[in-house]
Amino acid sequence: MFRQPKRSRGQGAAVGGGMNPNMLKQAQALQAQLQEAQEELQQATVEGSAGGGVITVEMGGDRKLQRVSIDPDALDPEDHELVEDLVMAAVNEATDKLEALQQERMSGLTGGLGLPGLG
């Protein structure tokens, strides 16, 4: 009587964890697109402003401020809290814009996949 040799766990599985070659190619293409999108987002710059443009900030895709512009007329020594509030509002606006840009870019790639947290 002929017996098949026993296989240890993990041997004999299809390449790609059971994915067919087409699915594997699609997954690899998606991975490349996601990588490209992340690199593009790192290069992005968004602007936030407050007080009708009295305070303007630029933020890079790495969430670091690149520029802060304050209209000299806004610098009232008697009301420094107003400037502080406007700077905070401008930074928050830039952060919100960057998050929206990231969400838009990623959901365009992953929205149809039904993956949690990816659009």
Q: What are phi and psi of 6, to 5 degrees?
A: -70, 140
Token pair for 27: 């997954």
CA-wise closest residue to 83 among 54, 47, 104, 44: 54
> Average pLDDT of the chain?
82
CA atoms within 13 A on the CB side of 32: 6
- Domains, the chain: 45-111 (3.30.1310.10)
Helix axes of 80-110 and 21-43: crossing angle, nearest 10 degrees? 160
Tens digit of pLDDT for each residue in 57-88? 999 999 999 999 999 988 888 988 999 999 99
Which pLDDT score, from 0 to 100, does residue 111 have? Answer: 67
What is the value of pTM for the model shown?
0.64
Q: What share of the chain in percent tops pLDDT 70?
A: 76
Tens digit of pLDDT for each residue in 27-40? 888 888 888 888 88
